[in-house]
Amino acid sequence: MLGVCGMHPDHQEALKKNRVVLAKQLLLSELLEHLLEKDIITLEMREHIQAKVGSFSQNVELLNLLPKRGPQAFDAFCVALRETKQDHLEELLLETLSGLQHAHPPVWSPRHVLSCDYNLSLPFPVRESCPPHKQPRLSADVGERSLDNGDGPPCLQVKPCTPEFYQTHYQLAYRLQSRPRGLALVLSNVHFTGKKDLEFRSGGDVDHSTLVALFKLLGYQVHVLLDQTAQEMQEKLQDFAQLPTHRVTDSCIVALLSHGVEGGVYGVDGKLLQLQEVFQLFDNANCPSLQNKPKMFFIQACRGDETDRGVDQQDGKNHARSPECEESDAGKEELLKMRLPTRSDMICGYACLRGTAAMRNTKRGSWYIEALTQVFSERACDMHVADMLVRVNALIKEREGYAPGTEFHRCKEMSEYCSTLCRRLYLFPGQPPA
């Protein structure tokens, strides 16, 4: 257990001098487990940190706690940074500490030899999956053109729906009145093992923290699963689909954030979970509690290895055609019992097109989740989900990677969605009044 004396003043000063960088860049999911294992924090402290909305607020809470956690806290924190592949932050702290101690005899630190292949403190685009023979070596000047020139996830706010909009739209839309609106599951895999040599998903923590905050603000009860094997993913998704709460709520959300290929996402053990198996768990046959209720899926994962290089736009007008709608009348036969197709009332957003790679910013998270959060927070008040996903497509279409000297320079991405929704799906944040 912790000793009675506090953290060494030099250690406190090193944390203080690097506080802003740490607050922006720390990836907490696995790091907190290391600190818990070493008795630097308690279970209650971990829950208190995770209850904060957004990764920045969670990081600040940990930085407030660390100086009070005894003389071993700094060294344990540095070791935890190294073990979670955040070596650049450990080196930053140790370099600062060395400068503070230049007039004193050197003290033991958890790492005596510092090395780093590239500067991870800069935001660069990476792919969600990258075969070992294609992995680029990124230099310190690699960056990425951002949509908002920001340096991290913003403080999230969702615009409320007006009573007037709700009254004029709810009768033609899916019923969304329950409190909570429904259950949401965010499953995020960041640290990988196994034979596939899948990379650490730097920036993945930003994605899952942002989605958790967004779904809570939209009125959902959020469940989070981190770093699951393929079998654990399948089992826990099945458990989630069978929760009795679905019977008394009006909708459901599932977000899967991982490496992937066309038709599947990877567990942390390098084994695949087929997406069709996921959809099957929530269909009308296997999940009767969600029959006739909208089910939203968001897949942040690669669907292939090809980086979209993009093409130069030629002069000329853009042409868009609206898909035609065809209605089939089955006749007025005797109605015994209403029958449903096996799968309906689903909409699924994909970060990228079939065969292509999804892009992720190492500090701000994936392009797709950032765009999704921006659109949903601003337009859920007056736009239905399918139209919002069209807006997401438009933002992704405009985005471009900036990484001179790598295959990611001027790279592109294109998101898409597919839908079996049968009505308009408005999320009506804040309506009807409780």
List, for residues 361-387, the tens digit of each pLDDT value.
Answer: 888 899 999 999 999 999 999 999 999
How far is 359 from 203, CA to CA, in rounded Å? 11
Taking every pair of C-alpha atoms in the chain, what is the biggest distance, in angstroms? 92
Tell me the two tokens of residue 317.
């007008």
Which of 2.70.240.10, 1.10.533.10, 1.10.8.60, 1.10.287.130 is the CATH number of 9-99?
1.10.533.10
Give the CB-side neighbour count of residue 357, counting CA atoms within 13 A.
21
259 annotated active-site: yes
Give me the residue label for tokens 């967004």: 214
Q: Active site residue: 88, 208, 223, 259, which one? A: 259
DSSP secondary structure string, 41-95?
Answer: S-HHHHHHHHTSSSHHHHHHHHHHHGGGS-TTHHHHHHHHHHHTT-HHHHHHHHH
CB of 179 closer than 8 Å to CB of 161: no
Q: Active site residue: 302, 348, 352, 381, which one? A: 302
Helix (H, G, I), strand (E, B) or coil at 236: helix
Give me the residue label for tokens 């912790």: 2
pLDDT in tens, the chain (434 residues): 333 356 888 899 999 999 999 998 899 988 999 999 998 999 888 888 988 888 888 899 999 999 988 888 999 999 999 998 888 999 999 999 988 876 454 433 333 322 222 233 335 566 665 444 333 333 222 222 233 334 444 578 999 999 999 999 999 999 999 999 999 999 999 999 977 789 899 889 999 999 999 999 999 999 999 999 999 999 999 999 999 999 999 999 999 999 999 999 999 999 999 999 999 999 999 999 999 999 999 999 999 888 777 787 775 444 443 333 333 333 333 445 678 899 999 999 999 999 998 998 888 899 999 999 999 999 999 999 999 999 999 999 999 887 777 777 788 999 999 999 999 999 999 999 87
Which of 1.20.1050.10, 3.40.190.10, 3.40.50.1460, 2.60.40.1120 is the CATH number of 163-308+342-420?
3.40.50.1460
Where are the domain boundaries for CATH 3.40.50.1460 in the chain?
163-308+342-420
CB of 37 closer than 8 Å to CB of 83: no
Residue-wise pLDDT for 31-48, tens only, equals 999 999 998 999 888 888
Where are the domain boundaries for CATH 1.10.533.10 in the chain?
9-99
